[in-house]
Every structure is written in structure tokens, then in C-alpha cells.
Amino acid sequence: MNKHIEDYLDYYCKLEYPSYAVLLKGQWGCGKSHFIGLYQRKTDKKFIYISLYGLKEVNQIDDALFQATHPRLGSKGMGVASKIIASSLKSTVKVDVSSGSAYLKKLLSKTKDSILIFDDLERCDIPLKQVFGYLNSFVEHEKRHVIIIADATKFNAQEEYLEIKEKLIGQELEVQLHIKAALENFCSEVKNEACEVFLIRCFDNICSIYIASKYNNLRTLRKFIQDFAYFFSKLPENAKDKSDLLQDILSVLLTTSLEMRSGQITLDQVKIFLEGSLSFVKKEREPKEIVLRNKYSNFLDFSPILGVTLWQDFFRTGILNQDKLHKAVFNTKYFQEDSQESWIRLWHSLDLSDEDFEKVKEEVQTELDHCNYRKIPIITHVFGLYLWMSENHLCEMNENKILVFFKTYVNELAKKNELEYIEEGWGDRESYASLAYWSKESSIFQGFCEYLDEIENEMLEESYPSQAQDLLHIMVSDTISFRQKLSNYENQKYLKIPILCYIDPHDFIESLDKVDHQLRVGDTLRRRYELPIDNKVLLKELSWLKKLKPLLEKEVRIRKDKISGYRYHNILKFAITPSIEKLQQIEKEDNND
């Protein structure tokens, strides 16, 4: 595709005394730098490559040239030395960069046969006229071959550019995007042979998605290859030979990467984008999402493989939780084996034969009859599946009967104390186990979720006394974990839960005496009420703090003239008293409202 450019560069580089520079142009990300890199490897010519990106002064180009021509001095650890030597050269040689510096003449005298490449012109902060004058000195005075690489669309509207380029640039060549050639090069960088082989087999599909996106940016394509290789390395071994599974992952990763890195969707919009193909379930979509969805209608499944949450986490952090990834993989349709739970196989109904569908549906009903589904999110999944089956005439019960059946089912489990909630939360009402809930947008489904919220809240309330005792044991054994559970750390379990109300103040004092880092406990309490959150949820702990205060005061008196008494005094003065005052102020403001 760019063979004519190679041919011209071959001709240009053979000229003994060229009187002009060559401009390689093309939009950002089209592969200009990639192309010139391949060209350098193909020819026996010598090159000196300089990136102008971010340079603000001409003398910075001097430094870059010095480091490029003295790679040993330019290496890590020699940066300061190279600058000292460069400065020494400049101080002994009169420099006039505007007309071709003597410093550079001396610097480059040993590399006179090398072709100079100056990349990223459009991202250079030096005034354009000054840069072109600088580069022209090589062409006009030093008779050097100069190749300039730039996104010329950034300059075409500038009259100054049009005027001065005529004095320097004798030939402009536009680099055309060559997807397959770039892919071959990117895939050759993949260390895992099995992953590389799979990607090579998918060239046509990758190219089709890339073309459908209408975004010409090879940097995004290269990042996708790197991300897919990372994904591949984290997959369970028995998933790496499932081509269809890998293809689904590839499609979601590539389409989402293209849209995010082009700025068309944000992290918050990933969910809408990935579930866009559910148009036959969801009746309304914003025009933007419809357009994006239609571009990839041939590549994205009706529901994103591995679930929306996992993809959101990956694009947010750039890393994968391997345990969550494995669970998500084993819950896909590609692992529909006897070991896979029946409700998961029913979730994949669209991939079942008529006979298998009836068999799995019967298995799920048997599990319900024996009350084997006890986790709230799994019950939610099965409820949504039954609503979907009813709507599509795939089961005998209507929606009202389904609602009555499942409410009765939940009540019976709750009465027997056999209903299980998930501590980390099940309930964005979107998905669980990397599988989106069926029928989640129906009003009946939403109403059932609200009912489950009430049940779960009751269960949580009943569990708090036991959890409070566990927290007290943690305070004694691990004060850092105690702090994290009460503060805004990653595992902020009780940040907005008044769990301390459920601890007897006398038990707290008794446990505090066993703590090695008592001041850390005090600091945790101080920070708890200073955090910039809605502390109204913690107002219930005000009465607890008021009961705790006189007990601490008593300990201070008992421990008078002892270091432990001093510690207790500090906890009282800097943690308990100001916390009480802070909550009292919030209570007062709340009453005034």
C-alpha cells in the first residue's frame, strides 16, 4: 500500500546532495512512525531519529541529537554527564542555531552519511518558523538528507506553514493505513505463541471491526493487541483452546477499546454500549448508542461475554482480578457441562436445543421445589428467567403467579433462617456472577428487587450484633484492619453503617486494654467522624460515644501517672470529645432543617 513511498525514499536517500527535505504526512495514529521504523530496518542506510514531541527550545533538539549520536552517553545513568559534555562543547564553539550551528556541524561530522528523521513536528512547542529554519540549516548548509514526519492537517490552515514549507520541503508523501502489515508487526511482539497464533487467525475479523469503527489509529490497535495478550495470560488453561470464547472476548475488547480511546464513549457509558445489542429487549436507546451499536451488530453478541462489571473494572484499572475472571469464564455458554449449575445453563437458553432447554428448565424447577436456591442474587436470576420465559410463552405460569411463587419462596427461606445474602452486595440490579439479569427493566422485576432489599436489610440488621463482636476481636488482633473497616479504605465495610452502636461500651474498654496500638484505635475513631461524607448515617453512634466517654474518664483516673493513662487521656481529648461535638453539631443542624 505504501510501496511508492519506499521507492521514493530509496531514490531520495541515494541523492548525493539533496536540496530539500521530504515530508511524510498522515493523521495521528495512522502509522507514520511505524512505517518509518519498518523502512529503517529494511534498508542498509544509517538513520538518526529524533522526536520533537514536547520540545520547547531549539537547544533541546541539540541535546536530543547529541544523545542520539552518542547513545552510550545518552543511556540511563549518563544523562547528566551527556548534558555536561554537550554544554562544554557549546561553550567552546560559537553556536548560531538559526543558520546552522558550528556545534552541530562538529557534533554530526562523524555521521554525515546518516539520514536525519524528525518526528512529531505537530507536537513540538517551538515556533514553526524557528523549527523550519533550524531544519533547513541541515539541508542548505550541511547538504543532509532530512525526513520530517507530521500530521500536516494541524498546519494546513496556517499561512505561515504554507509559506515556509516551500523553502524546505520538496516532496510530500502521505502514509496510508496498512492494517494487516501493522497487525503482523504487533502480533510478532506477543510473547505467548498460542496467543499469537490465535490473533493471526483472527486477522480478517480484527480488520473488519477496525474498518467498521471508522477510526484510523494504529496506536489503539497496538494497545488492543497488548491488552488481549494480557487477557489471554490470565485465562484458565482449559479456556485457551476454546476459539469461540476467545473470539467473543476479542470482539468486546476491540470494539470497546476503539470507542473509548477515540473518545466516543466514557467509562460510565461502557454498560450502555455493551448492552446496546439488546434492542429487542430494551425499547429505547439514545441515538448515539444506536449508531455505535449498529456499527458492530455483526460482531457483538446479545449480551457481553464475561459480564459488564468485569469489563468496566478492566477499563477502569487496566488489570484483571483472576479469580473473578475465571468464575466469569466458567459461567459462559462455552462451559455448559454437567458441573455447571442448572440456572446458569438456563441463562444460556438461546444456545440450547429444544430437548436440552426442556431438560434444564425441569432441573431448575426441581431445585426450586427443594428450596436449593438460597442466595438472594441467584434467586433474582431465576426470577428474571421465569419472567422472560413467561413473556415468551416458554413456561406455563403468568407474571403474577411467578411473583407470588417467588415471594412465598423467599419468605419460607427467611422464616427458616436459610436465606443467604451476599456481603459485598448483589444489588445494582444489573448482574451477578458476570451474567446480566433477564427482564431487569420490567416493573415486576424492579418491584421484586425492592422487596428483596427490605428482606436483606432486615437480615443485615439482625446480623449486626454478631458482626460487632467480630469487629471487636479485629480491633484487638489487627488495628490496621479495624481502621480500614471503619474508614474510607477499599474494604470500607462499616463506613456508613453505625456498627459501633452494637458494641457494649464496657466490652470496648475491656478490649481496648488488650490492644497493642491503642492510639491507632483512637485515631480511627477521630477519622471516622471527620470524613467528608454524610455523617447523618452515623448519628446513631452519638449515644454510644456519650456512654463511652465517662468510662474512659474513669480509666484515666485509675491510670493516673502511668503511660497507659496518658494514652487514654489522648484518646479522650483528641478522638472521643471532638467526635461527640461533631455529631452534636450535625444533629443540631439536622433538627433545624
Q: Can you give the CATH number for the domain in which 77 is found?
A: 3.40.50
Average pLDDT (565-589) is: 91
Q: What is the pLDDT of residue 92?
A: 42
Q: 431, 459, 487: which is the final residue of a domain?
A: 459
Q: Are residues 547 and 410 in the same domain?
A: no
Q: What is the pLDDT of residue 110?
A: 63
Average pLDDT (85-112) is: 51
In three state form, how does the secondary structure of 498-556 look? CHHHHCCHHHHHHHHCCCCCHHHHHHHHHHHHHCCCCHHHHCCHHHHHHHHHHHHHHHH
How does DSSP classify residue 341?
A: -
Cα separation, 176 vs 502, whole angstroms: 69
CB atoms within 10 A of CB 239: 19
Q: Is 90 helix (H, G, I), strand (E, B) or coil?
A: helix
Q: 459, 489, 518: which is the final residue of a domain?
A: 459
In a domain, residue 473? The reply is no
Confidence band for 99, pLDDT divided at 50, 70 and 90: very low
Q: What is the pLDDT of residue 459?
A: 83
Quote the distance between the C-alpha of residue 522 and its chain's center.
36
Contact 306, 328 (CB under 8 A): yes
Q: Are residues 326 and 452 in the same domain?
A: no
Domain extent at residue 133: 3-176
Average pLDDT (437-464) is: 89
Confidence band for 129, pLDDT divided at 50, 70 and 90: confident
Number of domains making up the chain: 4
Q: What is the pLDDT of residue 547?
A: 96
Share of the chain residues as helix, strand and coil, in percent rounded to the nearest 5 = 65, 5, 30
Q: What is the pLDDT of residue 86?
A: 46
Q: Are residues 123 and 218 in the same domain?
A: no
Cα separation, 132 vs 152, whole angstroms: 14
Name which of 318, 332, 323, 305 is nearest 236 in CA terms: 323
Dihedral (Cα; 434, 438, 442, 448), 10-degree rounding:
-70
Q: Are residues 531 and 552 in the same domain?
A: yes
Quote the distance between the C-alpha of residue 573 and its chain's center.
43
Cα distances (Å, whole numbers) of residue 414 to 40, 243, 385, 406, 462: 72, 44, 22, 12, 12
Residue 276 pLDDT > 70, yes or no?
A: no
Residue 44: which residues within 8 A CB-CB, separation 6 or more? none
* Higher pLDDT pick, 525 / 160: 525
Cα separation, 46 vs 149, whole angstroms: 17
Q: Are residues 389 and 455 in the same domain?
A: yes
Confidence band for 552, pLDDT divided at 50, 70 and 90: very high
* Higher pLDDT pick, 531 / 12: 12
Query: 176: which 3 cell numbers?
Result: 496510508
Name which of 219, 122, 106 is nearest 165 in CA terms: 122
Cα distances (Å, whole numbers) of residue 527 to 38, 264, 486, 563, 571: 57, 40, 9, 23, 12
Q: 305, 335, 365: which is the final residue of a domain?
A: 335
Confidence band for 521, pLDDT divided at 50, 70 and 90: very high
Residue 232: which residues within 8 A CB-CB, separation 6 or more? 192, 194, 195, 198, 240, 246
Cα separation, 199 vs 183, whole angstroms: 9
CB atoms within 10 A of CB 338: 6
For residue 329, the number of C-alpha atoms closer than 13 Å in the C-beta half-sphere is 22
What backbone phi and psi angles, to 5 degrees, belong to 117?
-115, 125
Q: Are residues 151 and 41 in the same domain?
A: yes
Cα separation, 565 vs 124, whole angstroms: 65
Average pLDDT (174-203) is: 84
Q: Are residues 119 and 24 in the same domain?
A: yes
Q: Are residues 153 and 9 in the same domain?
A: yes
Q: What is the pLDDT of residue 534?
A: 60
* Higher pLDDT pick, 180 / 50: 50
Q: Is 296 helix (H, G, I), strand (E, B) or coil?
A: coil
CB atoms within 10 A of CB 531: 15
Cα separation, 54 vs 335, whole angstroms: 50
Confidence band for 332, pLDDT divided at 50, 70 and 90: confident
Q: Are residues 151 and 48 in the same domain?
A: yes
In a domain, residue 464? The reply is no
Average pLDDT (379-397) is: 94
Q: What order of strands is seen across the sheet that includes strand 115-119?
A: 47-51, 115-119, 146-150, 21-25, 169-174
Q: What is the pLDDT of residue 71?
A: 61
Confidence band for 5, pLDDT divided at 50, 70 and 90: confident
Q: Are residues 241 and 151 in the same domain?
A: no
Q: What is the pLDDT of residue 64?
A: 85
Q: Are residues 417 and 397 in the same domain?
A: yes
Quote the distance between the C-alpha of residue 571 and its chain's center.
41
Contact 223, 276 (CB under 8 A): no
Residue 304: which residues within 8 A CB-CB, separation 6 or more? 252, 274, 275, 311
Residue 346 pLDDT > 80, yes or no?
A: yes
Q: What is the pLDDT of residue 240?
A: 92
How does DSSP classify residue 340?
A: S
Quote the distance between the C-alpha of residue 572 and its chain's center.
43
Which strand (E) or helix (H) includes residue 588?
helix 577-592
Average pLDDT (78-85) is: 46
Helices 399-415 & 443-477, crossing angle to 10 degrees? 20
Contact 383, 406 (CB under 8 A): yes
Residue 279 pLDDT > 60, yes or no?
A: no
What backbone phi and psi angles, to 5 degrees, belong to 231?
-55, -50
Residue 69 pLDDT > 50, yes or no?
A: yes
In a domain, residue 466? The reply is no
Residue 542 pLDDT > 80, yes or no?
A: yes
Q: What is the pLDDT of residue 544?
A: 95
Residue 338 pLDDT > 70, yes or no?
A: no
In a domain, residue 468? The reply is no
Q: What is the pLDDT of residue 364?
A: 94
Over pLDDT 90: what percentage of the chain?
36
Cα separation, 420 vs 120, whole angstroms: 59
Confidence band for 231, pLDDT divided at 50, 70 and 90: very high
How does DSSP classify residue 357?
A: H
Residue 520 pLDDT > 60, yes or no?
A: yes
In a domain, residue 564? The reply is yes
Q: Is 96 helix (H, G, I), strand (E, B) or coil?
A: coil
Of 97-106, 343-352, 394-403, the poorest mean pLDDT is in 97-106
Q: Are residues 220 and 149 in the same domain?
A: no
In a domain, residue 543? The reply is yes
In a domain, residue 472? The reply is no
Cα separation, 420 vs 375, whole angstroms: 5
Angle (nearest 5°) at CA 456 between 451 and 459? 135
Which strand (E) or helix (H) includes residue 118?
strand 115-119
Query: Residue 557: exposed, middle, or buried by beta-carbon count in 10 A (0-12, 13-18, 19+)?
Result: exposed
Residue 523: which residues within 8 A CB-CB, separation 6 or more? 483, 575
State the chain's mean pLDDT as an integer: 83
In a domain, residue 469? The reply is no
Q: What is the pLDDT of residue 363?
A: 92
What backbone phi and psi angles, to 5 degrees, belong to 71?
-60, -30
Q: What is the pLDDT of residue 465?
A: 93
